[in-house]
Structure 1
Amino acid sequence: MLDANLKNQLKTYLEKVTQPFEIVASLDDGVKSQELLGLLEDIDSLSDKISLKTDGQDSRRPSFALNRPGEETGVVFAGIPMGHEFTSLVLALLQTGGHPPKVSDEVIEQIKSIEGDFLFETYYSLSCQNCPDVVQALNLLAIFNPGIRHVAIDGALFQDEVEAREVMSVPSIYLNGKPFDQGRMTLEQILAKVDTGAAERDAKKLNEKAAFDTLIIGGGPAGASAAIYSARKGINTGLAAEAFGGQVADTMGIENFISVSHTEGPKLVRALEEHVKDYEVDVMNLQRAVKFTPADVQGGLHQLSFDSGATLKSKTVILATGARWREMNVPGEQEYRNKGVAYCPHCDGPLYKGKRVAVIGGGNSGVEAAIDLAGIVAHVTLIEFMGELRADAVLQTKLKSLPNVTVIASAQTTEVNGDGNRVTGLSYKDRHTDELKQVDLEGIFVQIGLVPNTEWLKGSPIEMTPRGEIIIDSHGMTSVPGVFAAGDVTTVPYKQIVIAVGEGAKASLGAFDFIIRN
């Protein structure tokens, strides 16, 4: 199952295992069970601390559990965790075998203190780059708390369950048989939802913090770069964000980040976060900013308020809140979000195997999505508002070569149609004739660009464009002295990761210069 190179790498990792454990497989006569058995036999052969049993009684087959002698860890994989989930498998093996995870002792104690019985089930796809974060976080909870059990389920292998539960977006998490959440979640976000008192405790801690020299709002490439440059100046630096990564975490392949020939969004996000943590940066996750109060009202300090109830003060502020997927804003879009309306074709595409889908948007993102989906689904209808596609010529040539793709230009999507439970189609207006038309389908992937995350700044003295982008000068400073901005949230053209990183550095240097001159 594993090639020689991968076996050698895995053997090196498994040398970190300090205590014996068992892999208990539940198999049948199917091809996938034989594939899984081959994988597990390879793993078994790489460490004398691992033993393989094939007498598992789990009703999901193929599947396997990781158990310590006389103790169930609660970690179960239903399917063959390759692709993006191979890292989840490796971490589960190491942590079951006693190797410590890269989280603080405080977090481990929080996990251990959770009371109750929890059965988490996560549906993932092997092409989903956001799913491993959820799978790994929930596995960690199961390993350190005997009251928690987690089953990671490959939706492509268990289609009957996916259909029965109407899973149309991954990762989809169920708790004790009921929907818990969907989409990318960090360990901190899951803990905050399970441990209901955590947010209040964290807000209290934040309110007690002294003022920062520089406070960065946002944890994407611009925010991470700003934090590193600021900390390297030796000043008191804080970074508050809902979660690290932003839009980068939803990016499948990155091939234009200079000096890195190829990487993937989640991998880059982890690297950014680890780099920030190499410095004395006070990182505060799960903090969504809701209000900005300028220094002239706060006696020389800017103040940021968060939806958690926390407030932070700082001499200078760098706003790096990034952008998010632009929505169509048509009837039915919100009603059927994650019920057929999706924004990540790489993540959710495998759930639509053999079905009819639409892609909204004829730019590079839309055409790339249509090309990828055409290899999975029965048919793709690409709908573009303008009279012609805007994607690069090479992408358009590839698109036109695909037999199961239809392009409809000069079309304005007017409504998402559904049966109350899931999408059944969409309506659009022919912009030449004003005639309303319908397309029957099961999924809609929206790819129409980004919108800056600045709604919370409306009414503040920070000047923005009509589109909501923050206006900055050559040093990254906004219209408010001491307040800077960087990345996709600003007027800087060409929303690229490498540009955001540079803009974050520039804003940080601008903030430092402002401090020493004032």
Structure 2
Amino acid sequence: MLDQNLKTQLKAYLERITRPVVLVASPNDTPKSAEMMALLAEIAALSDKITVETRADARSPSFALTSPGQDISLRFAGLPMGHEFTSLVLALLQTGGYPPKVEQAVLDQVKALQGDFTFETYFSQSCQNCPDVVQALNLMAVLNPGVKVVAIDGSDFRAEVEARQVLSVPTVYLNGQVFGQGRMTLEEILSKVDSGAAAREAANLAAKEAFDVLVVGGGPAGAAAAIYAARKGIRTGIAAERFGGQVLDTMSIENLISVPHTEGPRLAQALETHVREYDVDIMNLQKAAGLSRNGDLIEVALASGATLSARAVILSTGARWRQMGVPGEEQYRNKGVTYCPHCDGPLFKGKRVAVIGGGNSGVEAAIDLAGVVAHVTLIEFDARLRADEVLQRKLRSLPNVNIIVSAQTTEVKGDGTKVSALVYKDRVGGQVHELPLEGIFVQIGLLPNTDWLKGAVDLTPRGEIAIDSHGATSMPGVFAAGDCTTTPYKQIVIAMGAGATASLAAFDHLIRVTAPAAEQAA
């Protein structure tokens, strides 16, 4: 199962555990079970603190991690390989007593949870969003005996997936009911199960003193802006709905100069790590709701009810997936309508799907899905595909792909629980067609996250923040950077540079217009 290099690395990690770990296997007579038992044997051979036992469980093949004297209920159903192998390594370390790299206040909040919480998470090994959820829940199970978790590989437990109509990963159930879908951090999960958390956090935020520079948004542009501001020695804060932003949903990154290849979640973690090296007040899970001026200060109202103030603000709220905007899309979101082929593709194995969009993203998605699903229909609104020619040639060479151009998607149909068909109109002849299928992957670009800024700063008809060459907006003291702006090319490396530009411009504004907050406080 594991090559020698991986064994060597894992053995070094396992030297950090301080208490025994018992892997309780629940095998059956399938080939997947044999692979699981081989994996557990290899892991146990790497540390004298790890042993393997066998015990029946309702889900098999599966295995649990526990430690003598500890009340831990943490189980993997299926093989946690691919993106989930890191989740297994962390579960081994934390079950074995190795302290997690999480703020103490968050750990205390987990330990203080009262009640019984049984979480079931459906994942796929190709999903880059799933590990965050699995790892957060695993840690909760290690810290709090009232939390029981099982991570389930949807491709290995097809009967469950079909019975529960799971068509998007990660999908999380709590005590038998759908709890959430998509990426969730530990803090996000806690905010949903700890009823008083939101009010406490809002009170803490409202009590904060004014910042010199407040960055709104935690993607590449926001991270760069925060670092450049903090390096000037001024009071810097960053409020982000989710640190990492759209990068978290990016599978492969090969054009970040000096980094030949990385993955979105890994880059997002690196961005946060870098920001934390400086004196930056990071306020995660904070959605901005309004922007206004109050005398010399600029105020950012948050959805939580709190308000942050600063002498200069940098807007870097990024963008989100563009939706089709047709009847049925929202109703069947995560029930067949999805936006991440890498995450959700394995759930549609052997099924018929459509990809909406003929740009690079759409064609790449269709090529990727063609190796998993029974058939792919790519639908493009324009009269021709807009993807690079090399991608088009690859797509056209695939036997289970059909390409339809000059087609306008008009409706998503379903049976009330999942997608059953896509309706589109021929833009040339006017005929309406209904395409039977089980999945729709939408790949038609991005929309800037600027709805909350209408009336506060100038926006283009597309919703982008209008900026000058220094990143300045129409409101003095407010700057912007990244995919939410009129910057012509939406690229990570460009967003980073724009964040640095906006931050330097904000500092220049401060030294010319007003004294830093720290000086005024003195």
Q: Shorter-chain-normalised TM-score: which range?
A: over 0.9
Give the superposition deviation at 1:177: 0.7
CA distance in 1: counterparts of 2:140 and 2:69, whole angstroms: 19
CA distance in 1, matches of 2:30, 2:69: 30
Distance of 1:244 and 1:447 partners within structure 2: 23
Which residue in the other structure is 2:19 paired with?
A: 19
What is the CA–CA distance in structure 1 between the aligned matches of 2:254 and 2:452, rounded to whole Å? 33
Contact 1:320 1:489 in 2 (8 A): yes
Residue 18 of structure 1 deviates from its aligned partner by 0.9
Residue 235 of structure 2 aligns with an amino acid whose one-letter code is: N
1:499 aligns with 2:498: no
Q: Which residue of 2 aligns with 1:508?
A: 503
SS state at 2:73 partner: strand
Counterpart residue number, 2:168 = 169
Amino acid at match of 2:497: G
Question: Cα offset for 1:286?
Answer: 1.3
Matched, 1:480 2:509: no
2:114 paired with 1:115: yes
Give the distance between the partners of 1:271 and 1:100, measured in 2 at CA: 20
Which stretches in structure 2 are left out of the alignment for 5+ residues?
A: 514-522
Please state if 1:375 is matched with 2:381.
no
Match of 1:221 in 2: 220
| From 330, 336, 339, the counterpart of 2:332 | 336
The aligned residue for residue 33 of structure 2 is 33
Give the secondary structure class of the aligned counterpart of 1:488.
coil
Moved over 3 A (4+): none
Deviations 1:189-210 (A, max 9, x none): 0000010100100000011100
Question: CA separation in 2, counterparts of 1:283 and 1:70?
Answer: 37
**Which whole-Å CA distance do the structure 2 matches of 1:257 and 1:301 have between them?**
36
Instruction: Tell me the distance in 2 between the aligned counterparts of 1:122 and 1:205.
Output: 32
Q: Is the 8 A contact 1:66 1:72 kept in 2?
A: no
Q: C-alpha distance in 1, partners of 2:302/2:70? A: 42
Instruction: Please report how far the alpha carbon of residue 84 of structure 1 lies from its aligned counterpart in structure 2 after TM superposition.
Output: 0.1
What is the alpha-carbon distance in structure 2 between the residues aligned to residue 432 and residue 421 of structure 1? 33
1:56 positional shift: 1.7
1:91-106 superposed matches below 5 A:
91-106=90-105
The sequence identity of aligned pairs, in percent, is 68
The separation in 2 between residues aligned to 1:374 and 1:444, in whole angstroms, is 13
State the superposition RMSD in angstroms.
Answer: 0.6
Aligned partner of 2:516 in structure 1 is none
Partner of 2:417: 421
Cα distance between partner residues in 1 of 2:441 and 2:463: 24
Q: 1:72, CA displacement in angstroms?
A: 3.8
1:207 is matched with: 206
Which deviates further from its counterpart, 64-73 or 268-277? 64-73
Partner residue of 1:466 out of 454, 461, 468: 461
* TM-score normalised by length of structure 1: 0.98
Match of 1:396 in 2: 392
Deviations 1:146-167 (Å, cap 9, x if unpaired)? Answer: 0001100000000000000000
Q: SS of the residue aligned with 1:235?
A: coil
Please state whether the residue corresponding to 2:92 is helix, strand or coil: helix
**Distance in 2 between residues matched to 1:465 and 1:371, nearest whole Å:** 34
1:173 Cα offset (Å): 0.2
Partner in structure 1 of residue 520 of structure 2: none
Q: Aligned with 2:470: secondary structure?
A: coil
Aligned to 1:71: 70
Q: Which amino acid aligns with 2:61?
A: P
Query: Equivalences for 1:155-166 in 2 at 5 Å?
Result: 155-166=154-165
1:472-506 CA-to-partner distances (Å, cap 9, x unmatched) read: 11111111111000000000011001111111111
Q: How does 1:36-435 map to 2 (within 5 A)?
A: 36-53=36-53, 55-294=54-293, 298-435=294-431
Query: Structure 1 stretches of 5 or more lacking a match?
Result: none
| Structure 2 SS opposite 1:202 | helix
The AA in structure 2 aligned to 1:52 is V
Residues 35-64 of structure 1: per-residue CA shift (max 9 Å, x gap): 0111111110111111111x2221211111
Q: In the TM superposition, what is the alpha-carbon distance from 1:73 to its structure 2 partner?
A: 1.1
Partner of 1:457: 453
Deviation at 1:291, TM superposition (A): 0.6
Contact 1:304–1:312 under 8 Å retained in 2 = yes
Size of the aligned set, in residue pairs, is: 513
Q: Which amino acid aligns with 2:448?
A: P
Is residue 437 of structure 1 aligned with residue 433 of structure 2?
A: yes
Q: Is the contact between residue 357 and residue 381 of structure 1 (CA under 8 Å) also seen in structure 2?
A: yes
> Letter of the aligned partner of 2:366 in structure 1?
A
What is the alpha-carbon distance in structure 1 between the residues aligned to residue 108 and residue 437 of structure 2? 48
